[in-house]
A and B are shown apart, each in its own frame.
Chain A
Amino acid sequence: QITLKESGPTLVKPTQTLTLTCTFSGFSLTTNKVGVGWIRQPPGKALECLAFIYWNDDKRYTPSLKSRLTITKDTSKNEVVLTMTNMDPMDTATYYCAHLLIGYKFDIWGQGTMVTVAS
Chain B
Amino acid sequence: QSALTQPASVSGSPGQSITISCTGTANDIGTYNLVSWYQQHPGKAPKLIIYEVTQRPSGISNRFSGSRSGNTASLTISGLQAEDEANYYCCSYAGSSVTFGGGTKVTVL
Verify if A48 is at the interface (C-beta below 8 Å from B).
Answer: yes
CB distance from B52 to the nearest CB of A (A): 5
Number of interface residues of B (CB under 8 A): 24
List residues of chain B with CB within 8 A of the CB of A52. 97
Q: Which of B3, B48, B100, B102 contacts A105 (CB 8 A)?
A: B48
- Seed contacts A39-B46, A47-B40, A106-B46; 20 additional CB < 8 Å A-B pairs: A39-B100, A46-B89, A47-B91, A47-B100, A48-B100, A49-B98, A49-B99, A49-B100, A60-B96, A60-B97, A61-B97, A62-B1, A103-B34, A104-B34, A104-B36, A104-B93, A105-B48, A107-B48, A109-B45, A112-B45
B contact residues vs A (CB 8 Å cutoff): 1, 3, 34, 36, 38, 40, 45-48, 51-52, 57, 89, 91, 93, 96-103
